[in-house]
Amino acid sequence: MSDAVQDYAHEVVHEDHGPAKGLRRWLFTTNHKDIGTLYLWFSFLMLLIGGSMALVVRAELFQPGLQFVDPQFFNQMTTNHGLIMVFGAIMPAFVGLANWLLPMMLGAPDMALPRMNNLSFWILPFAFGLLISTLFMEGGGPNFGWTFYAPLSTTYAPDSVTFFIFGVHMMGASSIMGSINIIATILNMRAPGMTLMRMPLFVWTWLITAYLLLAVMPVLAGAVTMMLFDIHFGTSFFSAAGGGDPVLFQHIFWFFGHPEVYIMILPAFGIVSQIIPTFCRKPLFGYDSMVYAVASIAFLSFIVWAHHMFTVGMPLAGQLFFMYSTMLIAVPTGVKVFNWVSTMWRGSMTFETPMLFAIAFVVLFSIGGFSGLMLAITPADYQYHDTYFVVAHFHYVLVPGSLFSIIAAVYYWLPKWCGKMYDEGLGKLHFWLSFVGVNVTFFPQHFSGLAGMPRRIPDYALQFADFNMLSSIGAYVFGFSQVLFLYIVIKTIKSGEPATGRVWEAAHGLEWTLASPAPYHSFTHPPKVVLAEAHS
């Protein structure tokens, strides 16, 4: 009898500290690690769905002529590929990483607002369910490109655009709540001694990213709201016949859109700044300048938006302003690349899988940055605009940029999350397949773009055939090597070798002072932070 009571008491205490059982754990959780896991698996699912859409596009473009899909469906594929990758894969993956890592890095027990944290996640499956369901509606899904320019997305849109608009509203609500949570966590939950300038760079980049999200997601909500009113209530925001202007849509969209692309890269900067020092066995070169560079990039992101619309018809003064402000971004970005390279200089480097992805990030992201500079030159942009050169540019910053950083982060912190080591040989194989695949896919697109191949078109002239065939082969190699990634992660969780608490020989930061796997509640009582453990 007394034994039973004790067992029960033990059970209660245990439940207080451990996860609930079964589905309830995931539906009702308030734990940052559970929510982080949900975000990461969700984003991986979206990566596979959005990636499959890209493979439909690449299959159609394998040869000139129309072979597999109807042009209308092709448009739906390019549109939904973009929307799902941006809002469903990259952004939630970074939020998932923030959920897992911020409390551990700051010495906090959890995120600041745990229930709202769960709400931010659970809105997403519904939002994307709504978005993907439009593909099966009468008239088809969104087919106007991920930038949904009016009047394509208003006057000429399929009826399902209404659900697309509400889907975007839901994603925005999720992002805003997520950002509020991240800001409150970083500003309010730091352990004693964790001053702002001692925070790991991943935390810094997410703090600034959260501010960007708070500033621009509501503007996107405003843009789609005006679309909704133009479609259903007869307003004329984007119709010149009533005194509005379709170009107004582009201004509002890109006022959101340019900070948005930095939302997708700043946390990547943070991840790479954590990984490179560990595998160079040296502290990060120029920590302070890294923080200031990220802040400068974030500020500049608000005053460059119209470089996406040089050809739309803008006064000359506007074109010049946006050209010069855009070029200015190269300065803080250059500071960052310089610092990463300087961190490597004379370090005792080793090349484990996270480091390989991080180095590939630095090199390939820089290529994407340089093609961005080319696009910033207004007169040159008249030639490049809406060609595959633009596609090559933003895929270089998003795939071997953002996505590689996320993959690097998973390899780097997975042993901390699940307490087991991944298979290094398979990890390296995954890296080389991805590295070759991504370059074979996107490098030729620079050439077809410069030669004038337009984007978002299911057919092309014969002279682009070779580059496109190459590109499609690369895309399938890259796509299927992500299935290998799934296998590696599952294998690690199921049967990996046990990992130590420190995991990596030279890893610095509070998360490495915890056991592997990290306890369910990271730091119930805040640790005292010394500089050596503060950041790497």
Partner 1 sequence: MADTDEDSVYFIPDNSWFPIGIAVGLFLLVFGLGSWLNEIKAGEEPSLVAFYAGALIFAVVLYRWFAAVIDENLAGLPNARVKRSYVWGIGWFIFSEAMFFAAFFGALFYTRVLAVAWIGGEGAKGVTGDYLWPEFETAWPVVNNPDPSVFANPRESMAAPSIGNWLNYLPFWNTVILLTSSVTVHFAHTAIKDEAQGKMTLWLGVTVLLGILFLILQVEEYLEAYQELGLTLSSGIYGSTFFILTGFHGFHVTLGTFMLFIQLLRGMRGHFRPHDCFGFEASSWYWHFVDVVWVGLFLFVYVF
Q: Using the rule CB under 8 A, is 375 a contact of partner 1?
A: no
Q: Using the rule CB under 8 A, is 514 a contact of partner 1?
A: no
Q: 28, 351, 432, 487: which one contacts partner 1 (CB under 8 A)? A: 28
262 counts as catalytic: yes
Q: Using the rule CB under 8 A, is 63 a contact of partner 1?
A: no
**Min dist. Cβ of residue 40 to partner 1 (A):** 18
CA angle 403, 54, 124 (to 5 degrees): 60
**Within a 10 A sphere around the Cβ of 136, how many other Cβ atoms?**
9
Beta strands in 348-436 (DSSP E): 420-421
Nearer residue to partner 1 within complex by CB, 247 or 433: 247
Nearer residue to partner 1 within complex by CB, 345 or 382: 382
211 counts as catalytic: no
Question: Under rule CB under 8 A, which residues in 316-355 are in contact with partner 1?
Answer: 316
Task: Collect all residues with Cβ–Cβ distance below 8 Å to 438 and sequence separation of at least 6.
Answer: 364, 399, 400, 404, 474, 478
325 counts as catalytic: no
Cα separation, 46 vs 149, in Å, equals 24
Q: Using the rule CB under 8 A, is 159 a contact of partner 1?
A: yes
Given the residues 146, 149, 476, 520, the one annotated as active site: 146
Question: Could you tell me the maximum CA-CA distance found in the chain, to the nearest angstrom?
Answer: 86
Cα separation, 261 vs 363, in Å, equals 19
Cα separation, 350 vs 535, in Å, equals 20
Q: Using the rule CB under 8 A, is 135 a contact of partner 1?
A: no
Nearer residue to partner 1 within complex by CB, 3 or 243: 243
Stretch that binds partner 1, among 38-46, 248-256, 469-477, 495-503 (CB under 8 A): 248-256
Phi and psi, residue 387, nearest 5°? -110, 175
Task: Collect all residues with Cβ–Cβ distance below 8 Å to 495 and sequence separation of at least 6.
Answer: 420
Closest CA to 34 of 88, 96, 77, 94: 96
371 counts as catalytic: no
Q: Using the rule CB under 8 A, is 195 a contact of partner 1?
A: no
258 counts as catalytic: yes
Q: What residues does 498 pair with on adjacent strands?
A: 420
**Min dist. Cβ of residue 489 to partner 1 (A):** 26
Given the residues 32, 58, 169, 307, the one annotated as active site: 307
Given the residues 175, 343, 387, 405, the one annotated as active site: 175
> How far is the CA of 213 from the CAs of 186, 259, 275, 332, 531, in angstroms?
15, 8, 25, 20, 30
Q: To which residue do tokens 């610095």 refer?
A: 508
402 counts as catalytic: no
Q: Are 377 and 306 in contact (CB under 8 A)?
A: no
Q: Using the rule CB under 8 A, is 166 a contact of partner 1?
A: yes
110 counts as catalytic: yes
Q: Using the rule CB under 8 A, is 24 a contact of partner 1?
A: yes
What one-letter code names the amino acid at 321?
Answer: F
| Window 441-480: contact mask with partner 1 (x via CB under 8 A) | ----------------------------------------
273 counts as catalytic: yes
416 counts as catalytic: no
Structure tokens at 233: 């209530």
Structure tokens at 163: 């659900």
Q: Using the rule CB under 8 A, is 83 a contact of partner 1?
A: no
Q: 6, 25, 197, 320: which one contacts partner 1 (CB under 8 A)? A: 25
Q: Using the rule CB under 8 A, is 13 a contact of partner 1?
A: no
Q: Are 526 and 499 in contact (CB under 8 A)?
A: no
Helix (H) / strand (E) element for 419: namely none
Structure tokens at 39: 């975000």
Q: Are 474 and 439 in contact (CB under 8 A)?
A: yes
Q: 43, 179, 278, 405: which one contacts partner 1 (CB under 8 A)? A: 179
430 counts as catalytic: no
Nearer residue to partner 1 within complex by CB, 218 or 283: 218
308 counts as catalytic: yes
Stretch that binds partner 1, among 140-148, 199-207, 224-232, 476-484 (CB under 8 A): 224-232
Q: What residues does 431 pair with on adjacent strands?
A: none
30 counts as catalytic: no
Question: Under rule CB under 8 A, which residues in 89-128 are in contact with partner 1?
Answer: 108-110, 112-116, 118-119, 121-123, 126-127
Q: Are 175 and 264 in contact (CB under 8 A)?
A: no
Task: Report, as residue numbers or ranges, the catalytic residues.
Answer: 81, 110, 146, 174-175, 258, 260, 262, 273, 307-308, 333, 336, 455
